[in-house]
């Protein structure tokens, strides 16, 4: 079935910034797209909706949208959706897994660079007009020949591993399923070796989903074994880290630094010591943000619309 042969689907998008109207307007497939900024504005439009594209949810959406055929999440995480309610209505839910892989991997590498080259400190010094002298105790590090352990080998972890290898960084990937043969010079290890590997490397990067099995995996025991010059990078989920243990390790000099994009509580509370620690780089859970992100989500949506019409399996289907 070609794009021209299908009837227009009515798409409702809830997002304050992304411009899905312009993107869908360039499709050859006929659709009627309407976009609102807030969930409250969506309530009046749901009765005329076949496909809902959103990162926010409330079960009232189901009651107001009798013709709903698909919910396409704008994010990879779907914790905000009521899975059982969607199942009961028979409405499929698909996520945007992979849409942010390039941006998150690049952000993780940027955090590593910023720590290795003291870039946040340089920015602070610039604001103070302070020309910091070179001191023996604080030498910048080269990434070539360093060693990173990446936890997770989905689209983000795989892309980051490739970037690191291109820079001459030794890469060890920790994942649940280890391949029989190594790939592209990358070492693989099972999850139960995480603590012992963390003790050997220069950078620990968390790039895996949060599950009940790995919640708090970076804790006091792991941090105690790490080298004093090592750093932690988290571009995954805040729940992977026991934040109190990480703060203690950073304050005591047990590890050198951390680059954090995700936190246990978000927005990060003003009372958190992470804001003021000089050896921490904080970014506001925007590692996946780029001007191309919504285009990649739209590509997933476009493919799913075709599959929906043809009765085929949907991409990234959760429900």
- Whether the CB-CB separation of 119 and 113 falls below 8 Å is answered with yes
What is the DSSP secondary structure assignment for residue 282, as one 8-state letter? E
pLDDT at 8 over 50: yes
Q: 263-297: per-residue pLDDT in tens?
A: 999 999 999 999 999 999 999 999 999 999 999 99
Closest by CA to 74, choosing from 234, 262, 259, 304, is 304
Q: Is 237 an active-site residue? A: yes
Q: Decide the pairing of beta strands 203-206 and 51-54.
A: unpaired
pLDDT of residue 66: 97
Q: Is 79 an active-site residue? A: no
Cα dihedral 240/100/282/285 (nearest 10): -70
Q: 19-28: per-residue pLDDT in tens?
A: 999 999 999 9
Q: 165-199: per-residue pLDDT in tens?
A: 999 999 999 999 888 777 689 999 999 999 999 99
Q: How many CB atoms lie within 10 A of CB 4?
A: 8
pLDDT-derived band at 40 (thresholds 50, 70, 90) equals very high
pLDDT at 219 over 60: yes
Output the six-digit token pair for 309.
């019409």
Q: How many CB atoms lie within 10 A of CB 20?
A: 22
Residue 305 CB contacts under 8 Å (≥ 6 apart), including other chains = 9, 29, 31, 51, 70
- Range of weakest confidence among 73-87, 132-146, 180-194, 242-256: 180-194
What values do phi and psi take at 159, rounded to 5? -70, -40
Tell me the helix, strand and coil percentages in the chain, rounded to 5. Answer: 35, 20, 45
- Range of weakest confidence among 83-92, 135-144, 266-275: 135-144
- Percent of the chain past pLDDT 90, that is, above it, reads 92
pLDDT of residue 4: 47
Four-residue CA torsion sign, 241, 244, 247, 252: negative
Q: What is the CA radius of gyration of the chain?
A: 22
Q: Can you tell me the mean pLDDT for 27-51?
A: 96
Four-residue CA torsion sign, 113, 116, 121, 123: negative
pLDDT at 3 over 60: no
pLDDT at 5 over 80: no
Q: 3-97+290-310 is classed in which CATH architecture?
A: 3-Layer(aba) Sandwich (3.40)
pLDDT of residue 77: 86
SS3 239: helix
Q: 100-110: per-residue pLDDT in tens?
A: 999 999 999 99
pLDDT at 65 over 60: yes
Output the six-digit token pair for 238.
């805040």
pLDDT of residue 180: 75
Q: 101-282 is classed in which CATH architecture?
A: 3-Layer(aba) Sandwich (3.40)
Give the whole-angstrom CA distance, residue 24 versus residue 31.
7
Q: Can you tell me the mean pLDDT for 236-258?
A: 98
Give the whole-angstrom CA distance, residue 246 versus residue 260.
11
- Whether the CB-CB separation of 91 and 316 falls below 8 Å is answered with no
Catalytic pick among 37, 266, 312, 317: 266
What does the mean pLDDT of the chain come to? 95
pLDDT at 81 over 70: yes
- Whether the CB-CB separation of 99 and 76 falls below 8 Å is answered with yes
- Whether the CB-CB separation of 14 and 42 falls below 8 Å is answered with yes
Is it true that 3-97+290-310 and 101-282 share their CATH fold?
yes
pTM for the full model?
A: 0.91
Four-residue CA torsion sign, 238, 242, 248, 253: negative
Give the whole-angstrom CA distance, residue 186 versus residue 165.
8
Catalytic pick among 117, 170, 285, 302: 285
Q: Is 285 an active-site residue? A: yes
Would you kindly state where each structural domain of the chain is located, as residue ranges? 3-97+290-310, 101-282
pLDDT at 212 over 80: yes
SS3 per-residue string spanning 88-106: HHCCCEECCCCCCHHHHHH
pLDDT-derived band at 126 (thresholds 50, 70, 90) equals very high
Catalytic pick among 97, 107, 237, 296: 237
- Whether the CB-CB separation of 165 and 122 falls below 8 Å is answered with no
Give the whole-angstrom CA distance, residue 261 versus residue 179.
29
To which residue do tokens 């989920």 refer?
Answer: 237
């Amino acid at each position: 079935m070609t794009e021209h042969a299908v009837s227009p689907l009515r798409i409702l998008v809830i997002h304050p910034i992304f411009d899905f109207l312009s993107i869908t307007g360039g499709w050859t497939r006929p659709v009627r797209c309407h976009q609102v900024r807030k969930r409250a504005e969506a309530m009046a439009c749901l009765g005329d909706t076949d496909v809902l594209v959103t990162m926010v949810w409330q079960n009232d959406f189901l009651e107001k949208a009798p013709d709903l055929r698909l919910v396409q999440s704008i994010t990879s995480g779907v914790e905000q959706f009521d899975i059982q309610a969607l199942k009961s209505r028979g409405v499929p839910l698909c996520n945007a897994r992979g849409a942010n892989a390039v941006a998150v991997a690049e952000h993780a590498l940027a955090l590593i660079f910023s720590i290795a080259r003291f870039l946040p400190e340089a920015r602070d010094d610039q604001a103070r007009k302070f020309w910091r002298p070179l001191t023996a105790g604080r030498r910048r590090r080269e990434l070539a020949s360093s060693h990173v352990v990446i936890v997770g080998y989905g689209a983000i972890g795989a892309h980051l591993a490739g970037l690191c290898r291109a820079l001459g960084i030794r890469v060890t990937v920790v994942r649940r399923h280890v391949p029989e043969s190594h790939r592209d010079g990358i070492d693989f290890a099972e999850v139960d070796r995480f603590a012992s590997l963390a003790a050997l490397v220069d950078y620990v990067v968390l790039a895996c989903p949060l599950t009940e099995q790995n919640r708090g995996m970076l804790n006091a025991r792991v941090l105690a074994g790490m080298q004093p010059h090592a750093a932690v990078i988290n571009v995954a989920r805040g729940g992977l880290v026991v934040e109190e243990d990480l703060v203690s390790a950073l304050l005591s000099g047990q590890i050198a630094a951390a680059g954090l994009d995700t936190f246990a509580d978000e927005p990060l509370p003003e009372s958190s010591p992470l804001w003021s620690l000089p050896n921490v780089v904080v970014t506001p859970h925007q590692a996946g943000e780029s001007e191309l992100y919504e285009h990649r989500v739209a590509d997933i949506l476009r493919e799913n619309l075709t599959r929906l019409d043809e009765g085929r399996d949907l991409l990234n289907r959760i429900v």
